[in-house]
């Protein structure tokens, strides 16, 4: 799962400053009401500098269906859904960091590094239960959040099962669509409350996932690597799916323990396919724009989300 975010500029561009402030207040209120035993871990996780791109997506989708003066304030059930999605997102980050053995996130120690795995795992379970509690009797939101958690679990297992296999871009699309794609699909549905923007959300998530893949390779390449963790685990990123079309690179990709020289070859091959990956992401962005144009009442907020996301890899 990926974790990049939004900045103040995009929030201002969407005119959602008040809503994001209100969300921050909801998160604070929830944290204050949690069991004191969990306070330290939860504070650590939720006051760690999230950019709230998923709640922002929910609000933008809501605005794009009920634009202008008709909309009024974001409805309370949409605000609650944004809170719960942020909670569930943080739960996935805690679990991801344990699985990936990540020591740091957002420039600080991960929860399991700071508090140990038991505390991290128990806190992640606490977050899920508390999230459902927040949803109360909102049956639509309960169904959507349940779908999200199930799909994220399936996606992680699928991605791991398919590691180190010579697969195609279509396979990457399927995996990414179930992973980050499902998260943004559900965000769109929670925002539009009708499913009308579900496909848009899926494409935005796919774009987000691909930009993250490319950004990792680009950032690591600048440091002489190429998205090291994913390369060593044989995870099918977008640059990897394009690079392993070369049979020689594909053969290296399937090796469980590449040597340093083989790792360098893989990293270079991934970096060499960045222009193709960027072109592919441009096409996904265009698909998302088409969806926004066809199915939103006011597509402008959705265009802002697309541009913000597309910028993550550049």
Enumerate binding residues for other proteins (CB under 8 A).
65, 166, 168-170, 173, 196, 199, 244-245, 247, 250, 291, 294-295, 297
Identify which of residues 107 and 247 has a Cβ nearer to other proteins in the complex. Answer: 247
Cβ distance to other proteins smaller for residue 5 or 67: 67
Q: How far apart are CA 296 and CA 82, in angstroms?
A: 19
CA angle 224, 225, 230 (to 5 degrees): 170
CB of 171 to other proteins, least distance (A): 9
DSSP for residue 274: H
- The single-letter DSSP state of residue 109 is E
The token pair at 196 is: 């009308």
Write the CA distances from 66 to 17, 143, 266, 290, 300, integer angstroms.
17, 22, 47, 19, 12
Structure tokens at 50: 């999230």
Rounded to a whole number of angstroms, the minimum distance from the CB of residue 181 to other proteins is: 14
Partners of 105 in the β-ladder: 108
Do 16 and 95 contact (CB within 8 A), yes or no?
no
Q: How far is the CB of 195 from other proteins (least distance, A)?
A: 9
**Contacts from 268-271 at CB under 8 Å and sequence distance 24+?**
268/226, 269/243, 270/217, 270/221, 270/226, 270/227, 270/231, 270/237, 270/239, 270/240, 270/243, 271/217, 271/218, 271/221, 271/226, 271/239
CB 297 to other proteins: min, Å? 4
Q: Which is nearer to other proteins, 24 or 250 (CB)?
A: 250
Exposed / middle / buried, residue 136 (Cβ in 10 Å: 0-12, 13-18, 19+): exposed
For the bound state, the minimum distance from the C-beta of residue 176 to other proteins, rounded and expressed in Å, comes to 14
Q: Report in angstroms how near the CB of residue 162 gets to other proteins at its nearest.
A: 14
Closest by alpha carbon to 94, among 68, 128, 64? 128
> In the bound complex, what is the minimum distance in angstroms from residue 33's beta carbon to other proteins?
34
Smallest separation, CB 13 to other proteins (Å):
22
- Cβ(237)–Cβ(247) under 8 Å? no
CB of 250 to other proteins, least distance (A): 7
- The CA R_g of the chain, rounded to the nearest whole Å, is 19
Closest to other proteins by CB, 34 vs 169, is 169
CB nearer to other proteins: pick between 131 and 181: 181
**Closest CB to other proteins among 105 and 198?**
198
In this structure, are residues 255 and 230 in contact, taking their beta carbons and an 8 Å threshold? no
Query: In this complex, which beta carbon is closest to other proteins, that of residue 158 or of residue 166?
Result: 166
DSSP structural state of residue 311: G
CB nearer to other proteins: give 102 or 290: 290
Nearer to other proteins, 109 or 169 (CB): 169
């Amino acid at each position: 799962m990926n974790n990049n975010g939004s900045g103040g500029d995009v929030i201002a561009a969407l005119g959602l400053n008040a809503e994001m402030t209100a969300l921050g207040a909801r998160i604070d209120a929830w944290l204050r009401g949690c069991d004191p035993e969990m306070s330290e871990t939860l504070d650590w996780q939720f006051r760690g500098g999230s950019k709230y791109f998923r709640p922002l997506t929910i609000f933008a989708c809501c605005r794009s269906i009920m634009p202008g003066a008709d909309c009024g304030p974001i409805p309370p059930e949409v605000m609650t859904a944004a809170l719960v999605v942020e909670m569930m997102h943080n739960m996935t980050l805690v679990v991801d960091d344990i699985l990936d053995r990540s020591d740091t996130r957002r420039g600080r120690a991960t929860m399991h590094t700071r508090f140990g795995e038991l505390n991290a795992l128990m806190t992640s379970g606490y977050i899920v239960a508390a999230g459902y509690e927040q949803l109360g009797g909102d049956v639509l939101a309960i169904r959507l959040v349940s779908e999200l958690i199930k799909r994220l679990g399936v996606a992680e297992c699928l991605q791991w099962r398919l590691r180190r296999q010579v697969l195609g871009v279509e396979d990457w699309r399927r995996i990414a669509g179930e992973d980050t794609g499902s998260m943004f699909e559900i965000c769109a549905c929670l925002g539009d409350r009708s499913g009308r923007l579900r496909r848009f959300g899926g494409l935005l998530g796919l774009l987000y996932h691909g930009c993250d893949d490319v950004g990792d390779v680009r950032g690591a390449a600048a440091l002489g690597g190429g998205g090291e963790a994913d390369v060593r685990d044989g995870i099918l990123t977008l640059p990897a799916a394009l690079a392993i079309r070369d049979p020689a690179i594909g053969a290296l990709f399937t090796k469980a323990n590449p040597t340093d020289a083989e790792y360098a070859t893989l990293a270079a091959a991934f970096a060499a396919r960045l222009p193709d990956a960027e072109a592919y992401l441009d096409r996904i962005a265009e698909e998302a724009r088409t969806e926004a144009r066809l199915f939103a009442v006011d597509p402008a907020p959705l265009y802002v989300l697309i541009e913000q996301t597309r910028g993550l890899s550049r």
